Structure 1
């Protein structure tokens, strides 16, 4: 069985104007859901959470349900379009163990972000023989954006990064991370870049809209605000009805982003054997 959880957040708390709102994430979520149907997913098996429904509790609850209710042979998708950020990872010994990448639910300002550690705790429950694609069109780090020539069918009147600046304390740790030394009692080494989930022993495939030192952008594509990564990712999936191996999808998405002049490179992480297999298989 094929099942999916699709999350898109334009409206960040408070509801309505205010907050670090975006414009293209609902369009992205709609496109992803429709694309999954073309790729063989039953509309009834696609759960969609947007804006004020995409709270921290709801996202984690539905993700846990998606993972825990799956059985061998199932193909799952967790898609997120919205803001991303980075936070300091404080260990139980109150040592700084590194930097966590995180996504920002609608109520992140009050409920907190969803860190990579939170995802790992859920994904550990994934049963053997279950296929999971994790697709993120958001930023996990980056210090700025650059304007670029995006071609004739794109307008530069609107362009925005999907990135929430870190809190002061996290920004401080990021600045000095390369100089900080972990204590003699700590077994963990400081790392400047930390994948959302570790590649070694991965039980799923992670599709990220950009590398961890870049920002994921949204802009005007033919009159509609879209995430650049999701636009091309879905376009390629629809053209092939999902009948495409992962390494080809990865390459074609990268080529499409380059062709439009986007200053981001998608990054796909998985175990080696998964790259040569068809997506959703």
Structure 2
């Protein structure tokens, strides 16, 4: 099950980091199923994740990006509302022909334990998951999406467009917003303390290509999410997270419709995950 476009993704991310955000090439490690690279085996990916956060301190800015296959497996501990854990597939994944048996994956719990729980306060990490069923791949409590769809035949035929202005008003409001009501003194103190503690947390965000129950698409020049990331941020390096989610969603709508070649396109809803609402925060790398 080859995904040819994913071979382009590491270079797209690398070029974005170096050319747009002035990262040093020596600070970038790539695992790739190709000659001349360390292979993205389960062990190598987990080790690279641990190396990424080891020694991190306040002020550090980190990035983890995965492009490849993703799926869901039955949740056995009752921690998932939908009954499934999200997983990413390393190159040494084991599965049978009908995918009823899948082994040697990396589960969302492990991703959260390594890349979220081990981040020190004051540090920042951006995670990108360009894979199917990746909406909550990092198991973050807040998930936001743009409420739009690519199921319209008019979209598939290129006859309808969603403008940036119109998408600004359809961001999901499922997540808690900062309250505007007045609190009694005791409640206000508790609320203030809660947000003071939150400010001491690491800044954690995950960008996923689709919801947990959706698939995404692969193209010859890169995965839809990574390609959208690279193209958008090269032109607009520091949008707010809300603006970036809108622009990436618009990109994926157009590209997913093109992948469907004029047919009714399956829905694809990129997801922004975080520890608390961050739509108005400036995106930085």
Query: TM (normalized to structure 2)?
Result: 0.64
**Runs of 5+ unmatched residues, structure 2:** 96-102, 136-150, 159-200, 258-266
1:173-194 CA deviation, whole Å, 9 max, x = no partner?
xxxxxxxxxxxxxxxxxxxxxx
Match of 2:26 among 35, 44, 62: 44
Q: Distance in 2 between matches of 1:261 and 1:74?
A: 35
Q: What pairs up with 1:107-186 in 2 under 5 angstroms?
A: 107-109=92-94, 112-123=104-115, 124-140=117-133, 149=156
Mark the CA change 1:22 to 1:254 in structure 2 (over 3 Å): closer, same or farther: same
Q: Does 1:249 align with 2:244?
A: yes
* Backbone CA RMSD of aligned residues: 3.0
Q: Distance in 2 between matches of 1:216 and 1:49?
A: 22
- The match for 2:60 is 74
Q: Does 1:266 align with 2:248?
A: no
Q: Distance in 2 between matches of 1:67 and 1:141?
A: 21
Give 3-state SS (helix, strand or coil) of 2:75's partner: strand
Match of 1:235 among 228, 231, 246: 231
Q: Does 1:212 align with 2:215?
A: no
8 Å CA contact 2:16–2:234 kept in 1: the answer is yes
Q: Distance in 1 between matches of 2:73 and 2:277?
A: 32
1:149: how far off?
3.6
Tell which has more relative contact order, 1 or 2 (C-alpha 8 A, sep 6+). Answer: 2
Q: Distance in 1 between matches of 2:275 and 2:83?
A: 23
**Runs of 5+ unmatched residues, structure 1:** 1-19, 152-200
Match of 1:98 among 80, 83, 93: 83
1:261: how far off?
4.9
1:10-62 CA deviation, whole Å, 9 max, x = no partner?
xxxxxxxxxx2211101112111111112222111011000161000011101
Q: What pairs up with 1:11-26 in 2 under 5 angstroms?
A: 20-26=1-7
The structure number with the bigger radius of gyration is 2
Number of equivalent positions: 204
- Runs of 4+ in structure 1 over 6 Å off: none
